[in-house]
Structure 1
Amino acid sequence: MKNKHISSLLSTMLVSMPLLTACDVGRELARSAMDIVRNPQTDVGKQVLGSSSYKRSKLKNLEFTCVKEQFPSLPQEADQLYRYALYHDFKNRWLPKPGVLDRYLPYYRIAAANGHWQANLTLQEILLKSKDINIETRERRGEGIYWNEKLMKILPASAHYWWSLYIDVGYGPKHGADDSIIYLRKAADLGNAKAQYEVGELLMKIQDDSSHSVRLKVTDKMRVCAINQIYPDAEAALMASVTESSEKNYKLALIYTHQGVKAGDDTSAHIAGKVFYSQNPNSRHKQWGITEDKERSRRYGIISDYLTRRAHLKPELNVHDLDEIVPLPPAKLPSWDGKIAIQRFEEGPAPAKPSDELVRRLAQQAGLDPNTGLPK
């Protein structure tokens, strides 16, 4: 888990407004970024859970009610642009060639501007982390802020999580030393699975023996909530599985392991396979007491192998169709062709290129340049 308090990062503050204005990313883009800087979301300050110094931290507002993030349906026309861009993006991720990703950014942008939250999330990942696009760092900063403001309108929990990430690397809303955690806690309360897991981990790092039991209960609630989301958090599931197996709660450990596989975690898939069958008579997984099932073990093994080989497809890598492949007992196993859904997409034929007319129309209704996907 990332360190939320690295002073060298937090000292790298948001680039100045004159620089944002100078970025060739459109007047609306720069204006939106500056508005966020001038008007940070101070109301989320009420959600702060403690100071940046854990040893002196005084716990505040620790109460937590599990909320699951609600994902709106994806607009079909925008989805055509997203799938086309993602397919070619996937093909370029293993050994990326400079400039290739630039060809598909306009499709991501136009899809995101038309309410496609998956395109928005993928685009923000690219802008924050990719070194294979021809955009200056300061331009990426302004553009990332722009798209996260759009995301706030359709997926506020995830947007708050992204504000916490941006603050960590030195830009985003105007901030102080603790604001990254403020946004992270707000994201958790709104239902973001990753934020729920990370806030729980932060709580357990606080040096305060007297509140340990209280913090542990809150952390457990957050972790379980993160595991049972529509899109589970892989780290939360794996951590919970390890914890429950160490306490000999093996049936619950299996459920959490299964959820970890859904989230795309290859370690969870490997564990699940060994739990259902291992050739090693001394395997520690035999003590789980799960009825042997070689076919279930085989299927988890195939999934584990794919997730390991395709780790470069993260963060989109997942097995959300897991219950259609290897549901937990006592459900019977359905027929299966040996591939998960994302594998069929990645290995299948390229989606048809969206027509120029569709691209122009979607760009126009979002006020974007159809050639770049940026505001006019």
Structure 2
Amino acid sequence: MNRYAIIIGLSLVACVCSKKEPPGTALPDMSAVRTNLAFTCTHQADHLPPLDPQAEGLFLYARFLEKQDGPKDFNEVARYYRIAAAHGHYKANQNLQSLISDGLAGSPDAPKETVALAVRLIQQGIPSGYYDIGHYLETGYGLGQDAETALRYFRKAADLGNPEAQAYVAQLLAPLDKAPEIARQMRQCATDQGSRRYRAILEFLRSNDGRNPKLPDIDKIVPLPPAKLPPWDGTFEWQKAQNAAIPPKKPSEVTVDAMAKAYNLDPKTGFPL
């Protein structure tokens, strides 16, 4: 087994911080590593905590604003996402990272804020946080470009069940001169969790439990093999109709103000005061 495969196997110990501790951009200590490439399949869902109901309300309204047709105020969307993310809402955190890093929402320092959000996910024990940091290290976005350290984060994310990381690391380990058996196990684990589309469908069904959701467009999203996956914009026909008919309730400014002040944030922007 060569040095490259050993590097992929490196793993780090997560830094667990209190809920009220303000996020920073300092990465977890990478000195604690392992060289054993043994892989045990873990599913990401097992590491996801329950969501705060009020933060969920902010997230749903922000997502509604983001997905509406026509002109959008992405700074207003980011405001709700920021406050929800401060309350531990990992979905709001991930959506906010995308808005900021894509340049859609303003930020005093976009790379720094984006990396800080990913670090916060790591502090919460969310597998995708490790994957995000791996991506930023790999590309040099907000962090010094470091391919070797990026691999450690990808491996940690894979070990915690992140399917994107499992698929990515499996691709790196697949060649015969690296670790093809580990690659096979990771691919199987990622497949067991379902592809991105299957996970999106499961999330759609879970989030609409009790509302009798329909999937008339499922054959267009995930046709049966051997048909290839067609392009998909990530939306569902039923959800579009529901969103148009019944938008989520706008959070009251009293609620937003209280949630923001709990973390010393500006209620108007979600930025720290």
Under TM normalisation by the shorter chain, which class is it? 0.7 to 0.9
Show the counterpart of 2:156.
186
Classify 1:168/1:207 alpha carbon distance in 2 versus 1 (closer, same or farther; 3 Å).
Answer: same
Deviation at 1:132, TM superposition (A): 2.8
Show the counterpart of 1:370.
267
Deviation at 1:74, TM superposition (A): 1.4
- Distance of 2:139 and 2:60 partners within structure 1: 29
Contact (CA 8 Å) 2:78, 2:96: kept in 1 or not?
yes
User: What amino acid does structure 2 have at the position aligned with 1:361?
Assistant: A
Contact (CA 8 Å) 1:66, 1:221: kept in 2 or not?
yes
- Distance of 2:255 and 2:268 partners within structure 1: 12
User: What whole-Å deviation, never above 9, does each CA across 1:142-169 have from its counterpart, x for those lacking one?
Assistant: 1112212221232431110010111122
Show the counterpart of 1:228.
192
Classify 1:260/1:158 alpha carbon distance in 2 versus 1 (closer, same or farther; 3 Å).
Answer: closer
- 1:61 aligned residue (31, 36, 41): 36
- Distance of 1:272 and 1:100 partners within structure 2: 32
Task: Please show how residues 306-321 of structure 1 align to structure 2 within 5 Å.
Answer: 308=232, 311=233, 314=234, 317=235
- 2:93 aligned residue (120, 123, 128): 120
Deviation at 1:263, TM superposition (A): 8.2
Classify 1:262/1:217 alpha carbon distance in 2 versus 1 (closer, same or farther; 3 Å).
Answer: farther
Identity of aligned residues (%): 28
Deviation at 1:219, TM superposition (A): 1.6
User: What whole-Å deviation, never above 9, does each CA across 1:180-213 have from its counterpart, x for those lacking one?
Assistant: 1111011101111110111001112x472xx5xx
Contact (CA 8 Å) 1:160, 1:186: kept in 2 or not?
yes
Classify 1:363/1:273 alpha carbon distance in 2 versus 1 (closer, same or farther; 3 Å).
Answer: same
Contact (CA 8 Å) 1:228, 1:259: kept in 2 or not?
no
Contact (CA 8 Å) 1:87, 1:346: kept in 2 or not?
yes
User: What amino acid does structure 1 have at the position aligned with 2:97?
Assistant: Q
Deviation at 1:172, TM superposition (A): 4.4
- Distance of 2:253 and 2:135 partners within structure 1: 35
- 1:102 aligned residue (75, 82, 100): 75
Show the counterpart of 2:10.
none
Could you tell me which runs of 5 or more consecutive residues in structure 1 were left unpaired when the two chains were aligned. 1-27, 48-59, 236-257, 276-283, 286-303, 319-338
Classify 1:269/1:71 alpha carbon distance in 2 versus 1 (closer, same or farther; 3 Å).
Answer: farther
- Distance of 1:272 and 1:127 partners within structure 2: 30
Contact (CA 8 Å) 1:85, 1:105: kept in 2 or not?
yes
More helix by share: 1
- Distance of 2:199 and 2:144 partners within structure 1: 36
TM-score calculated relative to the size of structure 2: 0.74
Could you tell me which runs of 5 or more consecutive residues in structure 2 were left unpaired when the two chains were aligned. 1-21, 205-217
- Distance of 2:263 and 2:199 partners within structure 1: 37
Show the counterpart of 2:124.
154
Show the counterpart of 1:164.
134
- Distance of 1:178 and 1:202 partners within structure 2: 13
- Distance of 1:200 and 1:263 partners within structure 2: 25
- Distance of 1:343 and 1:133 partners within structure 2: 24
User: What amino acid does structure 1 have at the position aligned with 2:39?
Assistant: F
User: What amino acid does structure 2 have at the position aligned with 1:151?
Assistant: L
- 1:74 aligned residue (35, 41, 51): 51
Contact (CA 8 Å) 1:260, 1:269: kept in 2 or not?
no
- Distance of 1:182 and 1:218 partners within structure 2: 15
- Distance of 2:200 and 2:104 partners within structure 1: 30
Classify 1:167/1:274 alpha carbon distance in 2 versus 1 (closer, same or farther; 3 Å).
Answer: closer
Show the counterpart of 2:171.
201
User: What whole-Å deviation, never above 9, does each CA across 1:309-362 have from its counterpart, x for those lacking one?
Assistant: xx1xx4xx58xxxxxxxxxxxxxxxxxxxx55x445544422121101000110
Contact (CA 8 Å) 1:227, 1:259: kept in 2 or not?
no
TM-score calculated relative to the size of structure 1: 0.55
Classify 1:372/1:73 alpha carbon distance in 2 versus 1 (closer, same or farther; 3 Å).
Answer: same
Deviation at 1:100, TM superposition (A): 1.5
What secondary structure is seen at the aligned counterpart in 1 of 2:48?
Answer: coil
Show the counterpart of 1:87.
64
- Distance of 2:188 and 2:116 partners within structure 1: 32
What secondary structure is seen at the aligned counterpart in 1 of 2:117?
Answer: helix
User: What whole-Å deviation, never above 9, does each CA across 1:86-134 have from its counterpart, x for those lacking one?
Assistant: 0110115xx6x4x6211221100000101111101111121222x3333
- Number of equivalenced pairs: 237
- Distance of 2:75 and 2:260 partners within structure 1: 17
